[in-house]
A and B are shown apart, each in its own frame.
Chain A
Amino acid sequence: MIVFAYTRDLLLGLWIVFKRTFTKPVTVQYPEERPYLPPRWRGRIVLTRDPDGEERCVACHLCAAVCPVDCIALQAAEDPTSYDRRYPEFFRINFSRCIYCGYCEEACPTYAIQLVPDFEQSEYARRNMVYEKEDLLISGTGKYPDYNFYRVAGVKIRDKDKGGAENERPPVDVKSLMP
């Protein structure tokens, strides 16, 4: 009986090999040929700009706090020309530690930090995997073209006074007793 079972399995295997002989190979000729990566692929991290072209990052430190490998370091700095607008003085990601989990993107309240479909980050030296703000900042809005944090926040910035954000009433006149 055992002999029969062995023979059957052998023939089955041979049949599968024979069948595949006439199918198209699945191997992709990378890098000449590029695989399709969906837009939500979690690859290289970028910092984006808002539709006005200003940096979106407000240095809230949430991405750094949520990062499970603590590979994001930044420092907040005030913008001398604009009252409450804040920027990162430096923004550093150590990609040699990054696990591309995407938590930073999830935590970001301003859509500034985004993971893009680019996985080609191999380097010979680990120090080249340390990206500073200049390396991270792109000139576009990334995946969220419309969002502009300062248009919904209450703080005053250079070109938006108090009460000037979306869905806001003009500032209260404290001296008025009108109901």
Chain B
Amino acid sequence: MATIVVDNRSYSVDERTNLLAACLGAGLNLPYFCWHPAMGSVGACRQCAVKQFKDEHDQRGRLVMACMTPASDGARISIDDPEAKAFRASVVEWLMVNHPHDCPVCDEGGECHLQDVTVMTGHAYRRYRFPKRTYHNQYLGPFIKHEMNRCIQCYRCVRFYRDYAGGRDLNVFGSHDAVYFGREQDGTLENEFSGNLVEVCPTGVFTDKTLFHHYTRKWDLQSAQSICPHCSLGCNTTLGERYGIVRRVVNRYNHQVNGYFLCDRGRFGYDYVNDDGRMRRALLRPKHDRVSQAKPEGVSEVLASAADRLRRARGIVGIGSPRASLEANVALRSLVGPDRFFLGIGERDHRLFSTILTILRTGPVPSASLREAEDSDAVLVLGEDLLNSAPRLALALLQSVRQQPMKRADELKIPRWDDAAVRNVVQGRRGPLFLAGYRRTWFHDYATENYFAAPDDIARLGFSVAQSIGTDSPSVPNLSKDVRDRAHRIAEALIRAERPLIVAGTVSGSQATIEAAANVAWALHLAGKHPRLSFVLPDCNSLGLAQLGGGILEDAFQSVRHRKADGVIVLENDLYRHADSAKADAFFDAAQTVIVIDSFDHRTTARADILLPAATFPESDGTLVNHEGRAQRFYQVFVPEGDITESWRWLRDLARMTSDPAEKLSGAAAWQTFDDAVSGTAEAVPEFAKIRAVAPPAGLRLIGQKIPRQPERYSGRTAMISHLTVHEPRPPHDPDTALAFSMEGHRGRMPSPLIPQFWAPGWNSNQALNKYQDEIGGPLREEMPGVRLIEPVATKAPLWFTRIPLPFRPAYRRWLLLPLTALFGSEELSNRSPAIAERISEPFISLHPSDATRLRLEEGTAIELALQGTTCRLAVRLESSTPPGTAGLSLMHEMGFAQLPTWVDLTESIKAERRVA
């Protein structure tokens, strides 16, 4: 720690930081533009000028840029010095010279960093009387709106897009006072993290186009913490709602998880909540009638009918969901009983999830948070296409490759925040990142070595890396020299690292790659390293569901087939995504009563006798367990219209109505509030005991008050519904959390999950986050970053996985069909958002050029592939990264279920072949 003196008051700060971050961390107001806590300083905007003095006798001092000056011990500076103030006022005046008169129609207005700084420096009147510079805008795709006139040339966008996120198609063009930030020509921004430009840009050059379509100011948004439901990483988000419509998603800082950035699927996938086709009423189909449409009925009639049918049923099976909260799944388990509760995932997924759980529970190596992934200094990815299945992890790994080269900067005594200097030292050098997979993306350009092979070969590479690290792990027979050399190189790099990370996942459907990853990590552990493991799962609560435990979907089918049960309750799950269509059809045909609780229509709801509209994530409270085993809480943002209510409440009502009236209510039937649901969940499985500590209980009051979801300036309170009624009803009551649907309540310090949105006096932009941290880039004050439910026992001896697959051999006339996920298109919820839908590419099959020649197919040929009873239209893509003898099949929503990987005779299954005109 260093002590610095600012305006004659001393503060103790971290000496590894710069004066700007130190001042902001100390709670002082110092304007800035180009500096960003995650991206460091470049000293471009000259806005953070302060006066530095040699010692206490120095009266004159000199102006320095706070962001470029280390916070060394004894530094004396003045923010309030008249000369420094005048300097900062001049800088902002220059920056505003060409700024257009746009604030009323600018989407950034009200949360604009430029507005904040202009007010902070006191620049109120325009003195410049000459014509303003203007620019043409570009079309940048469905996510981002471009308004170049507003640019102040801080270079944050290109520094984020190119240097931080690895994008290539945004750049700075032009010269002198006419530089232009955009693409070479109009077109969609291709990078998976382009949405962060909205938050990185200090003014309104890049704004959220999805927000533009239903624009609302920041001060009018009713907000609360949410957890992104679109992949397994569990990034924290803040959702904003107005008039019953979710208006936007912004990043929510969680020091342990997503930090400052989100991916585009997480940011723009929220519109599924606003879908017009959503179920809002409880629906009922007449008895013994499977043909007519389900009709809306009163909630009590529907529930009574459901309870009646359930009471008469021979037995009830409950099918849970990896995209429903823990509480909802536990409520269902409590209603049907643990032995009749099924996880709602197929055999393949169940096997993979169980393997991952076993590795995390019994092995000595812990899972890595995203933060730890970012800090790791050598990474091996086995078989996972991170950019498409867990993009935020890929972004973390893009930072991890800088860890080793940055040591050179440390040796040269260049502080890490000095971004330009560090990049100069690092040059093109990258730390070890080994990617093994079967599909090439731009992320592979950042890897030390890429290995494209079939999953079995990838697993063999993993096993041989483990063997090269430590002799204890099982040996791999019949290794080719190439793979052995490769494994040696990888093993050496991992051993040389201090914090190696091994990543694997479930996308390829290969258990062997997961086991190989565990072996590598365990071998490193025995070698005295501190490795971490990271497993990518398909859905937001996949790991939590696996922890809960239960039978698989096939078991549920069997119990209905064997007439052990004829009542079915499906919780937020489309079974056709997890099982063969024919089997699912047979299952629903055999069942007498099908009750489906979900929020939108899909093939499973079409088979339901009774449909109960479930609340989506922003309409309910719940707990999710992310890929590392971290339980996190999401909060209700608004009260939905219609019969919509939380799934656990529907299940609670069903449990109440089916339970014996003579007996005392037990289990989920006795739940009253969300806290009861949390307690019930904590008791369901020993591992869940800690979820009570994930977030504060509903009874929490700060200075006797709840915490308002609405900002202080929330407008229209007395006019929002006055066209319906002039009597102003009480705001909805929230019995479930310490938050209120109101403007009134406590606005001081609070535990981090309860912060509605980041705002501080004078800091209307998202940069207000600095006011919630003691140390910039560190944890929030009173941070509750979620609770890790699985912690390893480091002393445990690893139980090596010994099932080493045989090398992959291409078969004659048969191809191994491998699943390919897509960032836009593979995930169920985000697909329903119009902006995401616009980015979904057409489904394709990828083939190695040599295979394509054998099949006489060309790039772009449209084919029809018959697979497991369904036919899908695909375009052919020739990719040399696809291993020969395999074919990659893009997993698109409309394609239904396909049990991949599987062997297919492509010469047979490609039915109709047409040339693209």
Q: Do chains A and B interact in one complex?
A: yes
**Residue ranges of A at the interface with B (Cβ–Cβ < 8 Å):** 58-62, 64-65, 67, 69-76, 78, 84-86, 92-94, 96-97, 109-110, 126-127, 129-130, 132, 149, 152-156, 162-163, 165, 167-177, 179
> What are 25 A-B interface contacts by the 8 Å CB criterion?
A65-B110, A69-B718, A71-B722, A72-B715, A72-B716, A76-B215, A78-B213, A85-B105, A86-B215, A94-B726, A96-B722, A110-B104, A126-B726, A130-B726, A149-B104, A153-B100, A153-B104, A153-B105, A154-B149, A155-B149, A162-B136, A162-B149, A167-B129, A167-B132, A173-B178
Nearest chain A CB to B184's CB is how many angstroms away?
10
A61-B220, A162-B137, A176-B174 given; name 5 further pairs at CB < 8 Å. A61-B110, A73-B719, A76-B216, A97-B722, A169-B134
Our pick among B101, B129, B180, B719 for the contact of A92 (Cβ within 8 Å) is: B719
Nearest chain B CB to A89's CB is how many angstroms away?
9
Q: Which residues of B contact A60 (CB under 8 A)?
A: 103-105, 109
B719 touching A72 by the CB < 8 A rule? yes
Q: Which residues of A contact B101 (CB under 8 A)?
A: 152-154
Q: Which residues of A contact B132 (CB under 8 A)?
A: 154, 167-169
B103 touching A97 by the CB < 8 A rule? no
Residue among B176, B178, B714 having the largest count of chain A Cβ atoms under 10 Å: B178
Given the interface contacts A58-B105, A155-B147, A168-B132, does A70 sit within 8 Å of B215 by beta carbon?
A: no
Nearest chain A CB to B347's CB is how many angstroms away?
49
Our pick among B213, B715, B726 for the contact of A61 (Cβ within 8 Å) is: B715
Q: Which residues of B contact A174 (CB under 8 A)?
A: 135, 173-174, 178, 180
- Chain B: interface residue count, which band? 35 or more
**Docked complex Cα distance between A79 and B163 (Å):** 37
Given the interface contacts A109-B104, A167-B131, A172-B134, does A78 sit within 8 Å of B726 by beta carbon?
A: no
Q: List the 6 shortest-distance A-B pairs measured between CB atoms, nearest first.
A: A154-B100, A73-B716, A64-B715, A60-B104, A73-B719, A70-B717
Q: Which residues of B contact A96 (CB under 8 A)?
A: 722, 726
Q: Which residue of B lies closest to A76 (CB)?
A: B215
Q: Which residues of A contact B220 (CB under 8 A)?
A: 61, 64-65
Interface string of B95-119 (1 = CB under 8 A from A): 0000011111100011000000000
Residue among B136, B137, B719 having the largest count of chain A Cβ atoms under 10 Å: B719
Nearest chain B CB to A138's CB is how many angstroms away?
20
B134 touching A162 by the CB < 8 A rule? yes
Q: Which residue of A lies closest to B726 (CB)?
A: A126
B136 touching A171 by the CB < 8 A rule? yes
A93 touching B719 by the CB < 8 A rule? yes
**Docked complex Cα distance between A95 and B715 (Å):** 15
Q: What DSSP secondary structure best describes chain A's contact surface?
A: loop
Q: Determine if B175 is an interface residue (Cβ-Cβ < 8 Å).
A: yes
A59 touching B215 by the CB < 8 A rule? yes
Q: Determine if B723 is an interface residue (Cβ-Cβ < 8 Å).
A: yes
Residue among A69, A70, A73 having the largest count of chain B Cβ atoms under 10 Å: A73
Nearest chain A CB to B745's CB is how many angstroms away?
16
Nearest chain A CB to B721's CB is how many angstroms away?
8
Q: Which residues of A contact B217 (CB under 8 A)?
A: 61, 65
B719 touching A70 by the CB < 8 A rule? yes
Q: Which residues of B contact A163 (CB under 8 A)?
A: 134
Q: What DSSP secondary structure best describes chain B's contact surface?
A: loop
Residue among A59, A72, A171 having the largest count of chain B Cβ atoms under 10 Å: A171
Q: Determine if B713 is an interface residue (Cβ-Cβ < 8 Å).
A: yes
Given the interface contacts A60-B109, A162-B149, does A75 sit within 8 Å of B135 by beta carbon?
A: no
**Docked complex Cα distance between A6 and B220 (Å):** 65
Q: Determine if B749 is an interface residue (Cβ-Cβ < 8 Å).
A: no
**Docked complex Cα distance between A75 and B214 (Å):** 8
Our pick among B102, B212, B219 for the contact of A78 (Cβ within 8 Å) is: B212
Q: Which residues of B contact A94 (CB under 8 A)?
A: 718-719, 722, 726
Our pick among A71, A162, A169 for the contact of B131 (Cβ within 8 Å) is: A169
**Docked complex Cα distance between A129 and B110 (Å):** 30
A84 touching B105 by the CB < 8 A rule? yes
A168 touching B723 by the CB < 8 A rule? no
**Docked complex Cα distance between A75 and B717 (Å):** 14
Q: Which residues of A contact B174 (CB under 8 A)?
A: 172, 174-176
Q: Which residue of B lies closest to A177 (CB)?
A: B175
Nearest chain B CB to A105's CB is how many angstroms away?
14
Q: Determine if B496 is an interface residue (Cβ-Cβ < 8 Å).
A: no
Q: Which residue of A lies closest to B147 (CB)?
A: A155
Q: Determine if B781 is an interface residue (Cβ-Cβ < 8 Å).
A: no
Q: Determine if B563 is an interface residue (Cβ-Cβ < 8 Å).
A: no
Q: Which residue of B lies closest to A64 (CB)?
A: B715
Q: Which residue of B lies closest to A63 (CB)?
A: B715
**Docked complex Cα distance between A170 and B109 (Å):** 25
Q: Which residue of A lies closest to B715 (CB)?
A: A64
Given the interface contacts A64-B715, A154-B100, A155-B102, does A73 sit within 8 Å of B720 by beta carbon?
A: yes
Nearest chain B CB to A83's CB is how many angstroms away?
9
**Docked complex Cα distance between A95 and B174 (Å):** 53
**Docked complex Cα distance between A177 and B177 (Å):** 11
Nearest chain A CB to B800's CB is how many angstroms away?
60
Q: Which residues of A contact B129 (CB under 8 A)?
A: 167
A92 touching B105 by the CB < 8 A rule? no
Nearest chain B CB to A58's CB is how many angstroms away?
5
Q: Which residues of B contact A72 (CB under 8 A)?
A: 715-716, 719
**Docked complex Cα distance between A93 and B726 (Å):** 11
Residue among A86, A170, A172, A176 having the largest count of chain B Cβ atoms under 10 Å: A172
Given the interface contacts A153-B100, A174-B180, does A86 sit within 8 Å of B105 by beta carbon?
A: yes
Q: Which residues of B contact A84 (CB under 8 A)?
A: 105, 147
Q: Which residues of B contact A109 (CB under 8 A)?
A: 103-104
B719 touching A62 by the CB < 8 A rule? no
Nearest chain A CB to B718's CB is how many angstroms away?
4
Q: Which residues of A contact B442 (CB under 8 A)?
A: none
Q: Determine if B290 is an interface residue (Cβ-Cβ < 8 Å).
A: no
Q: Which residue of A lies closest to B180 (CB)?
A: A174
**Docked complex Cα distance between A100 and B183 (Å):** 49
B722 touching A92 by the CB < 8 A rule? yes
Q: Determine if B94 is an interface residue (Cβ-Cβ < 8 Å).
A: no
Q: Which residues of A contact B109 (CB under 8 A)?
A: 60
Nearest chain A CB to B706's CB is how many angstroms away?
20
Q: Which residues of A contact B713 (CB under 8 A)?
A: 65
Given the interface contacts A76-B216, A78-B212, A153-B105, does A172 sit within 8 Å of B131 by beta carbon?
A: no
Q: Determine if B150 is an interface residue (Cβ-Cβ < 8 Å).
A: yes
Q: Determine if B133 is an interface residue (Cβ-Cβ < 8 Å).
A: yes
